[in-house]
Amino acid sequence: MSSSEVVSVPVEEPIEAVEELYEEQAPGHSLKPVCIFIGPVILSLVCFSMVGVLVRVHVNRLFSYPGVPVFGLIWVQILGCFIMGMAMRLKGVLLSYSPALNTGITTGLCGSITTFSSWQLLVFQELFNTPRSDHSQFRNFLGGMSVLATELGCSVAAIRLGQMIGDE
pLDDT digits (tens, 9 = 90+) for 104-113: 999 999 999 9
pLDDT string in tens for the chain (168-residue length): 555 565 554 455 556 666 666 666 666 665 555 555 688 889 999 999 999 999 999 998 998 888 877 788 899 999 999 999 999 999 989 988 888 999 999 999 999 999 888 888 888 888 888 777 777 888 888 988 988 999 999 999 999 999 999 998
Note the pLDDT of residue 9.
46
CB 163 within 8 A of CB 86: yes
Global pTM value = 0.73
For residues 164 and 99, give the distance between their C-alpha atoms in angstroms, rounded to a whole number.
23
* Model confidence pLDDT, tens digit, residues 114-139: 988 888 888 888 888 877 777 788 88
3-state secondary structure of 61: helix
Q: Contact, 60 vs 73, CB < 8 A?
A: yes
SS3 per-residue string spanning 131-156: CCCCCCHHHHHHHHHHHHHHHHHHHH
